[in-house]
Amino acid sequence: MQLKKAALIILAISFITAGHTAEGADNEGFIYGKITTRDGDTYTGTMRWGKQELFWDDLFNASKEDNPWLRYAPKNKKKKSARGDGDFSIFGLKVYQSFGFADTHIFMTQFGEIETIMNRRHSRSTIIMKNGAEFDVDGGGDIDVKIRMVDEDMGRINIKWDNIKKIEFMPTPRSAETEGYRLRGKLRTSEMDFEGYILWDAEESISTDILDGETEDGDMEIECGNIRSIKRLSRRACLATLKDGREYELRGTNDVNNANRGIFVMDERYGKIEVQWDEFREVIYEDKDDSGKPYKAYKSDKKLEGIVETIDGGSFEGDIVFDLDETEGYEILNGHLDDMEFYIPFHRIKSITPKGRHSSIVEFRNGEELRLEDSQDVSDSNDGLIVFMGKRDNEYIDWEDIEKITFK
């Protein structure tokens, strides 16, 4: 009887500690799907893109191959960028500007909005959305990366991008196997406080990821799931407090100093926010164990439409092409507030009001407002809008002529 009782206890402990493969685990927020290779092999499971994207609310980004909306813009348009030389980066993708329109436009959306990726040759791919829209992209960002998959039958595998023919996304089983649970908590900055899912140093987002740094006792490699909080001490150091109460002053690596590549938080009020080291104050991890919205929660059904008011009293209502580029509610507007960069799905935005050359007031559907600046989307670097009021009736509106944009 004693042996039988001991066996039952061991079985119970194994069930409790089985992590995210156990029944009842909520892993629906992890990216999941089937990869078909050029040789015809298939693999199914959760995916990690490079060292970063793991979840449906993470951002997929790549350079668009061409811009079909240019033909609706005036041929003789000339304008200077609001940013000196006119060049800047979004998620590591370089956007080049000259005295006309931007030479590069970025496609950016949450992974949960995508249905299929067809991989062509030479780093070119076609992105097929849930609503049937297609975007041809030609590399950069999340194209041409290695995908790490936890295959349902084989376990952990790494798949090279060039070997992939097709990626089909599908709803994630609640108990799908993953490599850890998702990190979430409260993020304090010098300007604002946020709450949501945390991505540290643009890489560490699950409990088994490692925070490394140097202490007086030697080098440390701490699993993020063991950390209660990380507090910035200076440009060169931070204080890590573990869940058991121990504290360590860490320095010497880009995880724990101003070489950090950004602390990201997915806050439901705004979208994704990137916080730079000088703006960062502290992150306090919570013990909540959920992975985010499931794949079916992303609808991909709202186009950009609304009213554009101009400074001369004009008003144009219809379908909107924003920045001579974005047409869908699942695409992303970005802008800066001090050392924070916001990545906001258009469907969260109620209105945009330009304020001078460098910034705009962005009003959210929840009633909050932010004054964002220093990006093409919210400054006079914007390539302007096209409003389609009918099949043959359209109007191009220069950014400097806009009073306010109100989305339906």
Q: What is the pLDDT of residues 126-177, one digit of tens each?
A: 999 999 999 999 877 899 899 999 999 999 999 999 999 999 999 999 999 9
Cβ count near 122 (within 10 Å): 8
Burial class (CB in 10 A: 0-12, 13-18, 19+), 273: buried
Q: Please indicate, yes or no, if residue 98 is contained in any of the structural domains.
A: no
Is residue 245, in this structure, part of any structural domain at all?
Answer: yes
Query: Does residue 258 fall inside a structural domain?
Result: yes
Query: How distant, in Å, are the alpha carbons of 188, 284, 341 from that of 337?
Result: 15, 22, 6
Same domain assignment for residues 273 and 205? yes
Do both 280 and 221 map to the same domain?
Answer: yes
Residue 74's pLDDT is what? 87
Give the pLDDT confidence of 356-385 residue by residue, as tens digits. Answer: 999 999 999 999 999 999 999 999 999 999
Say whether both 258 and 219 belong to one domain: yes
Q: For 196-228, what is each residue's pLDDT tens digit?
A: 999 999 999 999 999 999 999 999 999 999 999
Go through the chain and tell me how many residues it has.
408
Residue 354 lies in a domain: yes
Same domain, 258 and 326: no
Q: What is the DSSP letter of 29?
A: T
Residue span of the structural domain in which 124 resides: 32-67+105-169
Domain stop point among 169, 202, 222: 169
Residues 147 and 193 in one domain: no
Which alpha helices (DSSP H) does 115-270 contain, by range? none
Per-residue tokens: 133: 């829209």
- How many whole angstroms separate alpha carbon 3 and alpha carbon 9? 10
User: Given 234, 255, 285, which residue is the final one in a domain?
Assistant: 285
For the chain, give the longest Cα–Cα distance.
90
| Residue 232, token pair as written in the block | 């910035």
Note the pLDDT tens digit of each residue in 276-293.
Answer: 999 999 999 999 879 999
355 in the same domain as 253: no
What would the two tokens of residue 169 be?
């996304």
Span between the terminal Cα atoms of the chain, in Å: 69
Do 155 and 195 share a domain, yes or no? no
Q: CA 189 from chain center: how many Å?
A: 19
Q: Are residues 60 and 162 in the same domain?
A: yes
The strand pair at 402-407 and 305-310 is best described as antiparallel
Helix, strand, or coil (residue 13)? helix
> In this predicted structure, what is the pLDDT of residue 342?
98
Tokens 């206890």 correspond to 9
Q: What tokens were used for 276?
A: 């730079």
What does each C-alpha distance from 229 to 17, 247, 272, 331 come to in angstroms? 23, 10, 20, 33
* All residues at 6 or more sequence positions from 16 whose CB lies less than 8 Å from its CB, including other chains: 22
Is residue 26 domain-resident?
A: no
| Mean per-residue pLDDT, 262-277 | 97
Identify the domain boundary among 250, 285, 320: 285
In a domain, 21, yes or no: no
Q: Please indicate, yes or no, if residue 88 is contained in any of the structural domains.
A: no
Check whether residue 46 and residue 139 sit in a common domain. Answer: yes
Residue 330 shares a structural domain with residue 229: no
Would 142 be classed as within a structural domain? Answer: yes
What total of structural domains would you count in the chain? 3
User: For the chain, how big is the Rg over CA atoms in Å?
Assistant: 23
CA distances from 13 to 7, 16, 214, 365 (A): 10, 5, 35, 46
Q: pLDDT band at residue 66, thresholds of 50, 70 and 90?
A: confident
* Whether 114 and 235 share a structural domain: no
Do both 207 and 271 map to the same domain? yes
Report pTM. 0.88
